[in-house]
Amino acid sequence: MPLHVPPAPAPALRSVLTALASPTAVREARTPSLLRAQGPVTPELPLPVHVLDGTATRLTGWRFLIRCGERSVAAAETMLTADGWAFSHFFEGPYIPSTERALRQAEVMQQPYQPRLLSIPALYMLALWLHGDCAADAATGRLAATDLLVPLAPAPPGIAAHRPHRAAELLPLLTHRLTPAPLLSSPA
């Protein structure tokens, strides 16, 4: 079943296109694969990036995979500012091929999903969030118990990358890891 990729806000896409057209922005990005790209580069697969705060999520940006030919060579991220959507940065690394792999896995699932990214900064974790409501506004929405989370590689120890989990099953494990251990009292 195909994924229902939400359209990115037009200003977010324009900010990425402007950055890609800027030799200075590309040169200063410290992304060797983007610098070495031969041929045109295009932003594709816009995914809203949400951050998990406790049990709530909030939109923090949009991520675009930057393609050159048949492969992604980098990613670009935008952020919401007081003036609207703005380019944030280019980057490369293991989350790019991991995102592509997770998206390919999701495309063959029986149920349609709206793909999003879920960041859990305290665990240094990123997951593909497969939201069950394909018509939902990608900027809003709660993490439903039946939504799927696919941890991207590298995943934290004890959490298998690329294994889909129902949110209701994975969130308690993550919440437990995020809860600070109680302080031990010292003997009197």
Ordered per-residue pLDDT tens for the chain, 188 residues: 589 999 999 999 999 999 999 988 888 888 899 989 888 999 999 999 999 987 789 999 999 999 999 999 999 999 999 999 999 999 999 999 999 999 999 999 999 999 999 999 989 999 999 999 999 999 987 899 999 999 999 999 989 999 999 999 998 888 766 655 555 555 55
Strand 71-81 relative to strand 84-91, pairing = antiparallel
Distances (CA, A) of 141 to 56, 113, 126, 132, 137: 9, 13, 18, 11, 7
Nearest one of 33, 4, 26 to 113, comparing CA atoms? 4
pLDDT at 102: 97
Q: Where does the chain have alpha helices with state H?
A: 10-21, 23-27, 32-35, 95-107, 167-178
pLDDT at 182: 57
Between CA 73 and CA 31 the distance in angstroms is: 9
pLDDT at 180: 57
Rounded to the nearest 5°, which phi and psi values hold at 10?
A: -55, -40
pLDDT at 185: 55
Query: What is the separation, in whole angstroms, between the first and last Cα of the chain?
Result: 63
Nearest one of 102, 89, 35, 26 to 62, comparing CA atoms? 89
